[in-house]
């Protein structure tokens, strides 16, 4: 997993829970990297699992809730770090429809070792977008948070439903997004 994802996670922890908690979760996690992350570096996904699990134990907030909050925050950080992907885009559906075939493609050019999920968007009606999310990582609620973050960014009211068909080997969730009149 790319260092940028770790750096933004630790920055959020510092901001919301304080430096002491950020230090504590680093201490109590098993980290080969010693948390010396750089944005372009690549680190084992197990380190993210370890950090999020420690934060959940320390804060009493569940892992899914932490991932969702982190996803919402991360979208805002992507806007700041990679503004080019948001230029000329006016809606959540437009952005999500570019995710697999443009945004994550560009991410892969920038970071060839990135391990990206697939979303497969399908506009089933003008105000309904279905996205089947597949990944080898259990990050459904991160995806949920990123989608909710998009809706927040564009000031849209979007209802998000999930049909979870995941098993041990693969995450497989269909998100049905319905744009609700403001």
Q: Which residues bind ligand HEM (CB under 6 A)?
A: 1-2, 4-5, 78, 82, 85, 95, 99, 103-104, 107, 114-117, 135, 137, 139, 142-143, 146-147, 150
- Residue located via tokens 């790319």: 2
Query: Rounded to the nearest whole angstrom, what is the least distance from the CB of residue 147 to ligand HEM in the complex?
Result: 5
Give the whole-angstrom CA distance, residue 182 versus residue 179.
9
Token match 């990135």: residue?
114
Which of 61/114 has CB closer to ligand HEM?
A: 114
Least Cβ distance, residue 34 to ligand HEM (angstroms): 19
Q: How far is the CB of 126 from ligand HEM (least distance, A)?
A: 20
Tell me whether residue 27 or residue 123 sits nearer to ligand HEM (CB atom). Answer: 123
Nearer to ligand HEM, 21 or 89 (CB): 89
Q: Name the minimum Å distance from CB 20 to ligand HEM.
A: 27
Q: Region of 180 please: left (phi>0), alpha (psi -120 to 50) or beta.
A: beta
Exposure of 102 in the CB half-sphere (CA atoms within 13 A) = 12
Q: Which is nearer to ligand HEM, 4 or 26 (CB)?
A: 4
For ligand HEM, the closer CB: 4 or 51 = 4
Under 8 Å between Cβ of 4 and 81:
yes
Give CA–CA dist 46/172, Å, rounded. Answer: 20
Q: How far is the CB of 94 from ligand HEM (least distance, A)?
A: 11
């Amino acid at each position: 997993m790319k260092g940028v994802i770790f750096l933004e996670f630790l920055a959020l922890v510092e901001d919301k829970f304080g430096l002491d908690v950020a230090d504590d979760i680093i201490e109590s996690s098993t980290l080969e990297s010693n948390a010396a992350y750089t944005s372009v570096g690549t680190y084992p996904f197990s380190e993210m699992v370890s950090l999020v699990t420690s934060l959940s134990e320390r804060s009493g907030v569940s892992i899914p809730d932490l991932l969702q909050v982190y996803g919402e925050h991360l979208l805002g950080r992507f806007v700041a770090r990679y503004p080019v992907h948001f230029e000329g885009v006016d809606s959540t559906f437009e952005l999500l429809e570019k995710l697999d075939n443009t945004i994550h493609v560009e991410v892969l050019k920038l970071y060839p070792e990135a391990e990206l999920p697939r979303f497969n968007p399908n506009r089933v009606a003008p105000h309904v977008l279905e996205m089947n999310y597949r990944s080898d990582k259990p990050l459904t609620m991160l995806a949920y948070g990123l989608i909710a973050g998009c809706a927040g960014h564009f000031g849209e009211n979007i209802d998000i439903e999930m049909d979870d068909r995941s098993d041990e080997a693969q995450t497989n969730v269909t998100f049905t997004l319905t744009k609700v009149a403001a």
